[in-house]
A and B are shown apart, each in its own frame.
Chain A
């Protein structure tokens, strides 16, 4: 489970254990769905939901082989804790960008 983000400027290639091939697409799909929830939450200033989502992302990302997602989750959890809306919006944008560019290679 080693990742590299230097394969192509537009692409982030992540290598993941073949064992997880079945569940990684679901995981990534769920993260795309998170984006909707996060945006809604930001608009209604529901920081608790954002904190929980951030915390889960922090916990789960690494397990699936996406340490970058864990980092984003951790940052989001902290930002939600201090009700830092600009930071939250920045991280949501990062997350959206990452999800758009990530490519998974199973080995």
Chain B
């Protein structure tokens, strides 16, 4: 707009077209008139004031903003420059005005500023909400309050509310309503969904928010007009759907009371953002719910398990009392006259009773541990004793399966310990027993070391390595659970309650340790167990270390098994012996000869009876036949077929024998007796077992199956002064019948007999035992000759060991004594 005013009158003298359009008056109307003719007085004053200033100062004036009331377009904003036009005399004649309509510019600038402010406010609001604990802890009441207040304030609406669909989705239920003027929260109203179907439909389809600028006309919200909008005077609504897991679960409403209102995109976006916080709060709430449910369920389960354990513990104890009576009575009944049929039933009865009692004992143990009722003892003990006892108990089982069982205790492990030796034995016996159970051939090696992962004194690791069937990796954990075996299909084959490992695990944990397993299927397993015990302040001197002086006794240890050599070397060296090792009979002979030639012969030879190539007996015979045997005491190490080996040891006149696994006490005893014997001096008193005590050992019930009445008489006379009871059968057939009707600890079986020979009888006895589900009776074969093929045949038939006739009294008694000792241990 360009206009020209007279400098003196300030009346318009020119007005351009743009000016006409802007102001709304034609040039004709304007010319000769002043501002006061068209504009309100305060505007006209303002214009006039500026005009005077320009003219007086005779310079250009810039007026950045100048409101002006137009005829048709309302209030407009102008940016005006006023320029004085001077006459030839230098005085102002006219005033030139150039105005630009900046109304639109000004408005959009204002909107921009407002939008920036709104965004800032919204961001602030969202940050504030993000700090609200109620949202993250899932405290819904507080969270809803915070959100409705925030929505109402930021969006500047009277009412803000949270509605959630009822469970069946048929209605919306008001969770919280905030009304700004009374600053009041309320809740509880309900809107039936079917009455407001278009609204609900729109809600479900809407991505951000239903922005109803005019709630009365908007197709989505029209249905709410009566009575809702009307009653509350609502003119515009901004309703954002609340979603959880992709489903619309409710709505966050912002209601503008009064006329229509235009919702900006930012406001719509903000409303939608707010619902995110509702979703967060609700999910936190659900999580809290399920967490609580989980915790409650866990507590319930724990209480139930404890109760179960308590129950089992007391029940098992209660069951044990009558069980003992049942088993005791069965034992008494066993001693009475019974028909074969009755005896058979009773046998099964006793066996089942024993199994049941074992199971009850295991359950009792496990439930005691689980119920936390197991009290561990805190007493001083010697680790050597615990290991020796455990190994002794299991050696018979290992020998029966022909397994090498060895136990090596590292020299740096303290043996004077404080803890619960009974429970420690239980773990060790369980783990060795387990290893033997799942191993068909090879070895079970126990290694005891200080715990490499725990430097504290008294931290000990036990490892039990077998060469058995192994355990698949995915079962490494499960096998320690109650009633679980790695090979479910083989439970019947291997038997057992499956509680042993679970009990051992609990016990180890109670002793501050743990149990785990390494294994390769088909190659074997190694179970590891650690315990934390206390070391005695004043460790007891190893009770057996002192009396035997082997100082500088030249000793050769011959065994093909390195662990056995290691055990023997360490044990003997600890007693002062000078130990050399050989891993075969051939090497041993070479070494013995070399030592003799060097003028420093060996004094003690420990020989493994069973070695590949040259056996221990072969070596012993070679030694006897040559000069290297001079002054040499030989001790034979035997394992399976020990009875036969003992007899051969006697026959060869060797110093003594030792049944593997090697235990320090036995080794000590055997060596002292052997050395005493070969020196012609009686063995130390400490180790010479009093005969009375020997005879007090459990009397055995022995069956002799022998056709020769002379030999019957001979054996009878051998046993006359012992407590053993002897039954005689003239041939295998009678022997079999006697076995079926009575119980025998040992059967002495002649192999060559008329009617039914020993091979047939032994096979028949073994078959019958299997059919009756009975443990095999120990059968010792008696043969007149011991050819290698015949020996093989004897074991094939099912005999446990073998004695060559003539059987001498001392040999027989020694074999029975050894049997008794092992039997008792088991």
| Given the contacts A55-B784, A56-B711, A63 and B807 also touching, CB distance less than 8 Å | yes
Whether B713 sits at the interface, judged by CB under 8 Å, is yes
In the assembled complex, the Cα of A23 lies from the Cα of B782 at a distance in Å of 21
Which of B707, B752, B785, B805 has a CB less than 8 Å from the CB of A63? B805
Kindly list chain A residues whose C-beta atoms are within 8 Å of the C-beta of B717: 19-20, 22-23
Residues 705 to 723 of chain B near chain A (Cβ within 8 Å): 707-711, 713-714, 717-718
Residues 778 to 826 of chain B near chain A (Cβ within 8 Å): 782, 784-785, 805-809
Whether B754 sits at the interface, judged by CB under 8 Å, is yes
Kindly list chain B residues whose C-beta atoms are within 8 Å of the C-beta of A19: 717-718, 809
Per-position binary interface string of chain A over residues 66-86, scored 1 when its CB falls under 8 Å from any chain B CB and 0 otherwise: 010010001000000000000
Per-position binary interface string of chain B over residues 722-761, scored 1 when its CB falls under 8 Å from any chain A CB and 0 otherwise: 0000000000000000000000000000101010000000
Per-position binary interface string of chain B over residues 682-717, scored 1 when its CB falls under 8 Å from any chain A CB and 0 otherwise: 000000000000000000000000011111011001
Residues 41 to 60 of chain A near chain B (Cβ within 8 Å): 52, 55-56, 58-60
In the assembled complex, the Cα of A58 lies from the Cα of B710 at a distance in Å of 12
Chain A nearest Cβ from B251, distance in angstroms: 107
Chain A nearest Cβ from B481, distance in angstroms: 57
Chain A nearest Cβ from B63, distance in angstroms: 146
Which of B707, B713, B806 has a CB less than 8 Å from the CB of A56? B707
Contact B809 A17 (CB under 8 A): yes
Contact A60 B809 (CB under 8 A): no
Chain A nearest Cβ from B756, distance in angstroms: 14
Chain A interface main SS type: helix
Kindly list chain A residues whose C-beta atoms are within 8 Å of the C-beta of B709: 30
Kindly list chain A residues whose C-beta atoms are within 8 Å of the C-beta of B713: 23, 26-27
Contact A23 B809 (CB under 8 A): no
Which of B754, B784, B808, B809 has a CB less than 8 Å from the CB of A59? B784
| Given the contacts A22-B717, A23-B717, A59-B708, A70 and B806 also touching, CB distance less than 8 Å | yes
Which of A58, A63, A70, A74 has a CB less than 8 Å from the CB of B714? A63
Kindly list chain B residues whose C-beta atoms are within 8 Å of the C-beta of A98: none
Kindly list chain B residues whose C-beta atoms are within 8 Å of the C-beta of A27: 710, 713-714
In the assembled complex, the Cα of A66 lies from the Cα of B784 at a distance in Å of 14
Give the nearest-CB partner of A62 in chain B.
Answer: B806
In the assembled complex, the Cα of A31 lies from the Cα of B808 at a distance in Å of 20
Contact B784 A63 (CB under 8 A): no
In the assembled complex, the Cα of A52 lies from the Cα of B754 at a distance in Å of 8
Give the nearest-CB partner of B716 in chain A.
Answer: A23
Interface residues of B toward A: which range? 20 to 34
- In this complex, the member of B710, B718, B754 whose beta carbon has the largest number of chain A beta carbons within 10 angstroms is B710
In the assembled complex, the Cα of A60 lies from the Cα of B808 at a distance in Å of 11
Which of A17, A26, A55, A67 has a CB less than 8 Å from the CB of B752? A55
In the assembled complex, the Cα of A83 lies from the Cα of B754 at a distance in Å of 19
Per-position binary interface string of chain B over residues 435-465, scored 1 when its CB falls under 8 Å from any chain A CB and 0 otherwise: 0000000000000000000000000000000
- In this complex, the member of A23, A63, A67 whose beta carbon has the largest number of chain B beta carbons within 10 angstroms is A63
Give the nearest-CB partner of A49 in chain B.
Answer: B754
Contact B806 A61 (CB under 8 A): yes
Kindly list chain A residues whose C-beta atoms are within 8 Å of the C-beta of B708: 56, 59-60
Chain A nearest Cβ from B618, distance in angstroms: 23
Per-position binary interface string of chain A over residues 7-45, scored 1 when its CB falls under 8 Å from any chain B CB and 0 otherwise: 000000000010110110011001000000000000000
In the assembled complex, the Cα of A60 lies from the Cα of B807 at a distance in Å of 9
In the assembled complex, the Cα of A27 lies from the Cα of B713 at a distance in Å of 9
In the assembled complex, the Cα of A10 lies from the Cα of B713 at a distance in Å of 30
Which of A17, A52, A60, A67 has a CB less than 8 Å from the CB of B710? A60
| Given the contacts A19-B717, A52-B754, A55-B752, A62 and B805 also touching, CB distance less than 8 Å | yes
Kindly list chain A residues whose C-beta atoms are within 8 Å of the C-beta of B710: 26-27, 30, 56, 60, 64
Chain A nearest Cβ from B809, distance in angstroms: 7
Kindly list chain B residues whose C-beta atoms are within 8 Å of the C-beta of A17: 809
Give the nearest-CB partner of B806 in chain A.
Answer: A62
Residues 287 to 327 of chain B near chain A (Cβ within 8 Å): none
In the assembled complex, the Cα of A43 lies from the Cα of B717 at a distance in Å of 36
Chain A nearest Cβ from B710, distance in angstroms: 5
Give the nearest-CB partner of A52 in chain B.
Answer: B754
Chain A nearest Cβ from B347, distance in angstroms: 33
In the assembled complex, the Cα of A59 lies from the Cα of B750 at a distance in Å of 10
Chain A nearest Cβ from B381, distance in angstroms: 44
Contact B754 A63 (CB under 8 A): no
Kindly list chain A residues whose C-beta atoms are within 8 Å of the C-beta of B752: 55
Chain B nearest Cβ from A60, distance in angstroms: 5
Residues 475 to 517 of chain B near chain A (Cβ within 8 Å): none
Chain A nearest Cβ from B762, distance in angstroms: 17
Kindly list chain B residues whose C-beta atoms are within 8 Å of the C-beta of A61: 806
Chain A nearest Cβ from B755, distance in angstroms: 11
In the assembled complex, the Cα of A67 lies from the Cα of B784 at a distance in Å of 12
Chain B nearest Cβ from A10, distance in angstroms: 26
In the assembled complex, the Cα of A74 lies from the Cα of B804 at a distance in Å of 14
In the assembled complex, the Cα of A67 lies from the Cα of B807 at a distance in Å of 12
Contact A64 B714 (CB under 8 A): yes
Kindly list chain A residues whose C-beta atoms are within 8 Å of the C-beta of B808: 1, 63
Chain B nearest Cβ from A30, distance in angstroms: 6
Chain A nearest Cβ from B750, distance in angstroms: 7
- In this complex, the member of A17, A20, A56, A61 whose beta carbon has the largest number of chain B beta carbons within 10 angstroms is A56
Give the nearest-CB partner of B708 in chain A.
Answer: A56
In the assembled complex, the Cα of A81 lies from the Cα of B711 at a distance in Å of 22
Kindly list chain B residues whose C-beta atoms are within 8 Å of the C-beta of A52: 707, 754
Kindly list chain B residues whose C-beta atoms are within 8 Å of the C-beta of A62: 805-806
Kindly list chain B residues whose C-beta atoms are within 8 Å of the C-beta of A1: 808
Give the nearest-CB partner of B710 in chain A.
Answer: A60
Which of A23, A30, A63 has a CB less than 8 Å from the CB of B806? A63
Give the nearest-CB partner of A70 in chain B.
Answer: B806
Per-position binary interface string of chain B over residues 117-132, scored 1 when its CB falls under 8 Å from any chain A CB and 0 otherwise: 0000000000000000
Chain B nearest Cβ from A74, distance in angstroms: 7
Give the nearest-CB partner of B711 in chain A.
Answer: A60
In the assembled complex, the Cα of A26 lies from the Cα of B716 at a distance in Å of 14
Chain B nearest Cβ from A61, distance in angstroms: 7
Contact A58 B784 (CB under 8 A): yes
| 11 A–B pairs (Cβ distance < 8 Å), ordered by A | A20-B714, A22-B717, A27-B710, A27-B714, A59-B805, A59-B806, A62-B805, A63-B807, A64-B710, A70-B784, A70-B806
Closest 3 CB pairs of A and B: A62-B806, A63-B806, A56-B708
Other CB < 8 Å A-B pairs besides A59-B708, A60-B714, 10 of them? Answer: A17-B809, A19-B718, A20-B714, A20-B717, A23-B713, A59-B750, A59-B782, A61-B806, A63-B808, A64-B710
